[in-house]
């Protein structure tokens, strides 16, 4: 019987312990009953010859009960404390049993064909879709995902993230030369006349500003004239400059082939070529790029952007009513709905799951099975014995009970056959 106090057992183990004790009492009662019957029949068989059959049955019952008691007890401990060989099998061979169990699981369960066959017969995508399309389930997945994301964000070191962002930016943005790809990109824009919209926007903006800011031209040029020039001439010069500027801008607006527009086209064309082929232009761009990214202000802005983004994400993840959480829930429901209606998507998902499971089993089957072996090796032998006895001991007591009755029938049959065939018995 297990030595662990009842107060230290789980409710389920307490139920198993009571059932085990009850079956042990029943099996022991059957043995005692056979012993009592044997004594009575042995004492009275001279006066009542038919009791010899009862004696033989009781004798066989006792032998069967004692043999099965010995066999069951030998699994868990040494019968009567005697150092009999091949007893106390579980505590003495615990580690070997764990290794055998691990090998059995690895060989018969963690095998690629077994896993693929089982997964192929299971509509994983369909079942997942039917479960996920329900709002409570989608909300649950979103909540669990938010908890995981929050834990990951909190575990991240801000300094490490900033260093990673810096390294990635330097590797993918700063280190590559910008000139040739920028020149190719600009050349394609000019060839497709895609820059005309930007030119129109710039010209329109200048015209709007000029229309609304005529006063700004007062003194813009005249203040540079000699002091002896009359004030009337100052005003004339300023008004003339303003009107000419306004006339020029309106002319550029109206004429798609204006020389100023053509000059812009030519400048952009030359710039695109120089960015690809002129070392001086390319060097200027690289210097400007390095100056920009090496600026402490840019680094501070990057750190501030990360801190702001992290705080915003944590706030959104913590609020079940946030837009992020709601959109995540809706997206999960939509995925679930697609999984239940799209046969092609179901086949792809089922194939992905099966391939991933087979890959993991092929690569890590021994490591997975070793969990069983390592866990059993760490168990205390006495505690292991008690746990196993609690799990299967009640059924083993049925073996004792069955052995009692089978032994009784065998003893009766052997005695009856011997009495019938052997004279004088």
Ordered by start, the domain boundaries in the chain are: 10-92+379-421, 123-341
Average pLDDT over residues 208-231: 67
User: Who's near 51: CB < 8 A, 6+ residues apart?
Assistant: 40, 41, 44, 45
Contact criterion met (CB below 8 Å) for 133 and 330 = no
User: Who's near 340: CB < 8 A, 6+ residues apart?
Assistant: 126, 129, 130, 133
Q: How far apart are CA 68 and CA 88, in angstroms?
A: 15
User: Who's near 341: CB < 8 A, 6+ residues apart?
Assistant: none
Q: How far apart are CA 409 and CA 54, in angstroms?
A: 10
pTM across the whole model: 0.53
Which run of H or E residues covers position 348?
helix 343-378
For residue 335, what pLDDT is reported?
Answer: 92
Residue 15 has pLDDT above 70, yes or no: yes
Contact criterion met (CB below 8 Å) for 91 and 380 = no
**C-alpha 335, offset from chain centre:** 18
Residue 4 has pLDDT above 60, yes or no: no
Banded model confidence at residue 227, pLDDT cuts 50, 70, 90: low
| CA-derived radius of gyration, the chain | 46
Reduced to 3 DSSP states, what percent helix, strand and coil does the chain have, rounded to the nearest 5?
Answer: 85, 0, 15
Contact criterion met (CB below 8 Å) for 28 and 370 = no
Q: How far apart are CA 397 and CA 68, in angstroms?
A: 9
Residue 6 has pLDDT above 50, yes or no: no
Which has more pLDDT, 86 or 61?
61
pLDDT tens digits, one per residue of 239-260: 787 788 888 888 888 888 888 8
Q: Work out the angle at residue 333's Cα, subtended by the Cα atoms of residues 331 and 337, and round it to the nearest 5 degrees.
A: 115
Q: Work out the angle at residue 182's Cα, subtended by the Cα atoms of residues 181 and 183, and round it to the nearest 5 degrees.
A: 90
Banded model confidence at residue 327, pLDDT cuts 50, 70, 90: very high
Banded model confidence at residue 331, pLDDT cuts 50, 70, 90: very high
Contact criterion met (CB below 8 Å) for 20 and 393 = yes
Question: Structure tokens of 46?
Answer: 């001279």
Q: How far apart are CA 185 and CA 191, in angstroms?
A: 10
What is the torsional sign of CA 88, 94, 95, 97? positive
For residue 2, what pLDDT is reported?
Answer: 46
From residue 133, give the alpha-carbon distance in Å to each of 126, 186, 341, 343, 425: 11, 47, 11, 16, 81
Mean of per-residue pLDDT scores for the chain: 83
Residue 308 has pLDDT above 70, yes or no: yes
Question: Structure tokens of 316?
Answer: 């959104």
pLDDT tens digits, one per residue of 362-388: 888 888 888 888 888 887 888 778 888
Which DSSP string corresponds to 281-331? Answer: HHHHHHHHHHHHHT-HHHHHHHHHHHHHHHHHHHHHHH-TTSHHHHHHHHH
Question: Structure tokens of 200?
Answer: 């129109």
From residue 173, give the alpha-carbon distance in Å to each of 185, 218, 288, 301, 412: 16, 46, 13, 16, 95
Helices (H) and strands (E) in the chain, counts: 17, 0
Question: Structure tokens of 283?
Answer: 């060097």
Contact criterion met (CB below 8 Å) for 406 and 66 = no
From residue 60, give the alpha-carbon distance in Å to each of 51, 404, 414, 421: 14, 8, 9, 19
| Extended strands (E) in 131-192 | none
């Amino acid at each position: 019987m297990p030595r662990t106090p009842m107060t230290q057992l789980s409710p389920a183990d307490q139920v198993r312990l009571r059932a085990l004790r009850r079956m042990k009492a029943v099996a022991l009662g059957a043995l005692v009953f056979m012993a009592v019957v044997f004594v009575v029949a042995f004492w009275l068989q001279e006066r009542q010859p038919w009791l010899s059959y009862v004696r033989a049955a009781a004798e066989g019952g006792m032998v069967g009960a004692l043999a099965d008691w010995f066999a069951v007890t030998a699994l868990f401990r040494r019968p009567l404390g005697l150092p009999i060989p091949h007893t106390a099998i579980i505590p003495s061979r615990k580690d070997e049993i764990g290794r055998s169990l691990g090998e059995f699981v690895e060989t018969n369960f963690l095998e690629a064909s077994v896993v693929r066959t089982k997964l192929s017969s299971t509509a994983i995508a369909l079942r997942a879709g039917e479960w996920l399309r329900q709002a409570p389930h989608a909300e649950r997945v979103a909540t669990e995902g938010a908890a995981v994301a929050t834990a990951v964000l909190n575990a991240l070191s801000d300094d490490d993230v900033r260093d990673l962002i810096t390294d990635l930016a330097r590797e993918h943005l700063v280190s590559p030369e910008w000139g040739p790809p920028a020149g190719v990109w600009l050349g394609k824009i000019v060839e497709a006349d895609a820059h005309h919209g930007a030119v129109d926007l710039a010209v329109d903006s200048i015209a709007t500003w000029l229309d609304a800011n005529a006063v700004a031209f007062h003194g813009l040029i005249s203040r540079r004239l000699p002091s002896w020039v009359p004030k009337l001439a100052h005003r004339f010069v300023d008004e003339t400059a303003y009107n000419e500027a306004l006339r020029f801008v309106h002319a550029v607006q109206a004429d798609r082939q204006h020389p100023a527009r053509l000059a812009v086209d030519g400048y952009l064309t030359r710039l695109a070529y120089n960015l690809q082929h002129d070392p001086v232009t390319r060097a200027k761009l690289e210097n400007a790029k390095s100056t920009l990214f090496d600026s402490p202000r840019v680094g501070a802005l990057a750190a501030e952007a990360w801190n702001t983004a992290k705080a915003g994400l944590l706030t959104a993840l913590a609020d079940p009513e946030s837009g992020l959480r709601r959109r995540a829930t809706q997206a999960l429901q939509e995925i679930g709905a697609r999984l239940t209606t799209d046969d092609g998507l179901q086949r792809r998902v089922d194939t992905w799951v099966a391939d991933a499971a087979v890959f993991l089993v092929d690569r890590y089957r021994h490591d997975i099975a070793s969990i069983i072996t390592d866990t059993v090796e760490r168990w205390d032998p006495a505690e292991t014995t008690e746990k196993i006895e609690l799990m299967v001991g009640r059924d083993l007591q049925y073996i004792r009970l069955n052995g009692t009755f089978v032994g009784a029938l065998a003893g009766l049959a052997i005695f009856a056959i011997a009495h019938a065939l052997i004279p004088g018995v």
